[in-house]
């Protein structure tokens, strides 16, 4: 006895495989359709954005915009990308405008710089020409002034000498009125001789080198005072000269300045009952300020600007003799040393003249300038 069964496994297997094949084909068809749809929805917008980005990078054309193919996140990405491109385009336009303005400014600056260089060269050339002309003119003027002044002294001495000879050799033959005229002639020739001498001194101050060295200002002042006392021994003047005053200066020129300043103090204190003259120094932040002070006639500070001009006088010749050149000479000497000079005075209360040099100092303590002037 046996059993026999027919399961038809092969046929079933073949059937199952057929069904699987059909299902796989359908699945592939559905996947293909879905991939095409996804490509249109996802890949195409991204590729469009990538194409725009590549073209912007290559051509730097920031006016391009990516198409918005959907309203999802990719569409938002396209909008953001376009917004970024618009901002870059605006910034690029602003930068180009700024560069254009900057370029114009640089061009204008270069043009102005070239013009300045040209003007500087032209100015330097003109300065050299004018300096040469001025030096030549000054040399000619000084030579002429010196020659004229030197040549004028001889006839003036002759006039004065012959006038004196007439008065001394023929006292009885010359009438009193003629003697008075001769006296006036001699006085005028002597004044003219002094004026010529002062002009020569003023001319000498401008010529020659400046030989600066350590100078004893106190000793120079005492020498000037001693000369004045020898010339006018009848005058009794209380004169005070500070000790230890020194300066780095040309001794010859410095003495000439002191001669004029101390000589003025001596002259303008002649009508004072108890004349006093002080030659001293002050300290202005360590810098020496020398002064010559008297208690003489003084002057009105309203006219102080005329003090240092040649032939400028604040007192008439009948009151005090002089040519008006002394203070101009002093100022020129001080300026040649790199310093300055100024005055402080009151009518009838005396005057004080202060001057500085480029360098110099004092060895003793000095009061403050403001206190001294007060």
Top-confidence range, 31-40, 224-233, 310-319: 224-233
- pTM listed for this prediction: 0.52
**Residue 316 gets which letter from DSSP?**
-
Q: Of 29, 6, 9, give the one whose Cα is nearest residue 17.
A: 9
Tokens standing for residue 34: 């879905």
* Whole-angstrom distance, CA of residue 85 vs CA of residue 91: 10
Q: Give yes or no for residue 350 having a pLDDT over 70.
A: yes
Taking residue 243's Cβ as centre, other Cβ atoms within 10 Å add up to: 12
Which tens digit of pLDDT belongs to each residue from 138-151?
A: 777 777 776 766 77
Taking residue 62's Cβ as centre, other Cβ atoms within 10 Å add up to: 17
Q: Of 51, 50, 49, 45, give the one whose Cα is nearest residue 69.
A: 45
Q: Give yes or no for residue 374 having a pLDDT over 50.
A: no
CB neighbours of 44 closer than 8 A, spacing ≥ 6? 69
* Whole-angstrom distance, CA of residue 331 vs CA of residue 324: 12
* Whole-angstrom distance, CA of residue 266 vs CA of residue 121: 53
Tokens standing for residue 202: 């003023």
Quote the Cα angle for 304-309-314, to 5°.
50
Q: How far is CA 60 from CA 46, 65, 215, in A?
A: 20, 12, 80
What is the average per-residue pLDDT within 72-93?
A: 79
Which tens digit of pLDDT belongs to each residue from 208-230?
A: 667 888 889 999 999 989 988 88
Taking residue 304's Cβ as centre, other Cβ atoms within 10 Å add up to: 15
Count CA within 13 A, CB hemisphere, residue 63: 1
For the chain, how big is the Rg over CA atoms in Å?
53
Confidence grade of residue 290 (pLDDT, cut at 50, 70, 90) = very high
Per DSSP, what are the bridge partners of residue 288?
283
* Whole-angstrom distance, CA of residue 85 vs CA of residue 226: 97
Delimit the domains of the chain by residue range. 62-206, 208-373
Contact 253, 291 (CB under 8 A): no
**Arch. (CATH architecture) of 208-373:** 2-Layer Sandwich (3.30)
* Whole-angstrom distance, CA of residue 103 vs CA of residue 105: 5
Phi and psi, residue 368, nearest 5°: -70, 150
Can you give the pLDDT at residue 3? 66
Taking residue 253's Cβ as centre, other Cβ atoms within 10 Å add up to: 23
User: What residue has token string 């003084």?
Assistant: 298
């Amino acid at each position: 006895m046996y059993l026999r069964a027919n399961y038809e496994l092969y046929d079933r297997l073949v059937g199952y495989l057929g069904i699987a094949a059909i299902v796989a084909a359908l699945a592939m068809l559905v996947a293909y359709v879905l991939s095409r749809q996804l490509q249109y929805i996802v890949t195409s917008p991204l590729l469009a954005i990538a194409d725009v980005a590549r073209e912007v990078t290559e051509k730097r054309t920031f006016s391009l915009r990516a198409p918005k193919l959907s309203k999802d996140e990719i569409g938002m990405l396209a909008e953001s990308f376009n917004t970024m491109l618009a901002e870059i385009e605006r910034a690029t336009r602003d930068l180009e405008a700024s560069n254009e303005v900057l370029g114009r400014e640089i061009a204008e600056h270069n043009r102005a710089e070239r013009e300045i260089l040209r003007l500087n060269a032209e100015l330097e050339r003109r300065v050299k020409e004018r300096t040469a002309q001025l030096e030549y003119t000054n040399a000619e003027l000084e030579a002429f002034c010196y020659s004229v002044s030197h040549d004028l002294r001889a006839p003036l001495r002759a006039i004065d000498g012959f006038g004196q000879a007439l008065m001394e050799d023929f006292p009885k033959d010359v009438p009193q009125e003629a003697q008075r005229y001769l006296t006036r002639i001699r006085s005028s020739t002597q004044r003219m001789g002094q004026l010529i001498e002062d002009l020569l001194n003023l001319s000498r101050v401008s010529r020659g080198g400046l030989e600066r060295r350590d100078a004893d200002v106190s000793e120079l002042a005492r020498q000037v005072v001693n000369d004045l006392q020898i010339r006018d021994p009848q005058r009794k003047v209380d004169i005070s000269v500070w000790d230890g005053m020194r300066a780095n200066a040309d001794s010859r020129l410095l003495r000439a300045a002191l001669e004029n300043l101390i000589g003025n103090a001596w002259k303008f204190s002649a009508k004072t009952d108890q004349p006093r003259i002080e030659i001293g120094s002050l300290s202005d932040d360590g810098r020496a300020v020398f002064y010559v002070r008297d208690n003489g006639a003084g002057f009105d500070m309203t006219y102080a600007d005329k003090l240092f001009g040649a032939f400028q006088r604040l007192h008439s010749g009948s009151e005090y003799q002089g040519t008006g050149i002394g203070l101009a000479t002093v100022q020129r000497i001080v300026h040649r040393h790199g310093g300055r000079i100024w005055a402080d005075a009151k009518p009838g209360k005396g005057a004080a003249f202060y001057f500085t040099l480029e360098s110099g100092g004092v060895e003793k303590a000095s009061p403050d300038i403001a206190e001294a002037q007060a």
